[in-house]
Amino acid sequence: MGRVIGLKAGTIEGDVSVTGVEKNIRVDSVSVGASAQITYDSSGGGHVQIGDVSLLIKYGEWVAELQKACFDGLIFETVTIIEVDQKNEAQGSAEAKLVRTIKLTNAYISNIGLGWDGPYATCSLSFAFEKWDLTYEAKSGAKMASRDLMATT
């Protein structure tokens, strides 16, 4: 048991069978960075830049579809990355608990690479996007960070 991260991009299906992320592509790791620049002028404004979201996934039949999407410049209306925590069966429930969700709007694969030097073949890919929504399910309720990269403010 433990945490499972799933990726859903368009109609591409993976092999995850865990409740909450069924038919998602299993994700081994997710990384993203953000930087903020503040301007000291009369507007008092600033600018936040969020980098591409990078993923490491297990190699599978879905990789060919992801490569094609990258090569064709396909824009996914929505890409969703969901992390769930599987309950321990000893606790009396096999239902998974939502931990966090990243939703990317108008996303495309900006980079894709393959590797065969570990216990199994892997695929690394990055998504560029227009809008970012992160929801973290804290004990006190959902916490959300949202940023529309096309917004002018």
The model's confidence at residue 45, banded by pLDDT at 50, 70 and 90, is low
Residues in Cβ contact with 82 at an 8 Å cutoff, skipping those fewer than 6 apart: 5, 6, 8, 20, 21, 24, 98, 100, 101
Backbone dihedral angles phi then psi of residue 120, each to the nearest 5 degrees? -150, 160
Cα-Cα end-to-end distance for the chain: 43
User: Which has the higher per-residue pLDDT, 14 or 137?
Assistant: 14
Q: The domain at 3-32+46-148 falls in which architecture? A: Roll (2.30)
Cut 0.85: pTM above it? no
Cβ burial, residue 16 (10 Å; 0-12/13-18/19+): buried
* Per-residue pLDDT tens over the stretch 69-81: 999 999 999 999 9
Quote the percentage of the chain above a pLDDT of 70. Answer: 75
DSSP helix/strand/coil, 71:
helix
